[in-house]
Amino acid sequence: QVQLQKSGPGLVKPSETLSLTCSVSGGSISSYYWSWIRQPPGKGLEWIGYIHHSGNTKYSPSLKSRLTISVDTSKSQFSLRLSSVTAADTAVYYCARGVVVVAAREGHFDNWGQGTLVTVSS
């Protein structure tokens, strides 16, 4: 069973950059689309974006201008950077394994890491 372990600060100041890393163990980082999903406190889930081990990415249009997702296959890790954060970016951030069929424009998330609350506050 693949496991995803997230690391990164739980508090970020407004206007700064939120950075999180997810380490993949118990399975290969190849052949899947590694995703970030967030959940504001008391609210629903929001897909942020994904990266394939090849480096191919897809981002949510609403976050695209501030978002970078990268992958380090040698370390079986993928990372999220969200710049110019505001209080609206306060959320529990999840990393997840995406099963995506790009040609069919279809996908779902079959393994999730434990979420971590990231608070944007001065």
Partner 1 sequence: SYVLTQPPSVSVAPGKTARITCGGDRIGLKSVHWYQQKPGQAPVLVIYYDSDRPSGIPERFSASNSGNTATLTISRVEAGDEADFYCQVWDSDGDHGGVFGGGTKLTVV
Report the interface residues with partner 1, using CB under 8 A: 35, 37, 44-47, 49-50, 58-61, 94, 98-100, 104-110, 112-115
Q: How far is the CB of 85 from partner 1 (least distance, A)?
A: 21
Question: 26-60 burial by CB neighbour count: b if 16+ within 10 A, else e?
Answer: eeebeebbbbbbbeeeeeeeebbbbbbbeeebbbe
Gyration radius from the chain CA atoms: 14
Q: Which is nearer to partner 1, 16 or 58 (CB)?
A: 58
Is 25 in contact with 78 (CB distance < 8 Å)?
no
Q: How far is the CB of 106 from partner 1 (least distance, A)?
A: 5
Q: How far is the CB of 59 from partner 1 (least distance, A)?
A: 8
Q: How far is the CB of 14 from partner 1 (least distance, A)?
A: 26
**Which tokens go with 50?**
């994904």
Q: Which is nearer to partner 1, 16 or 99 (CB)?
A: 99
Q: Which is nearer to partner 1, 24 or 100 (CB)?
A: 100
**Which tokens go with 96?**
């997840």
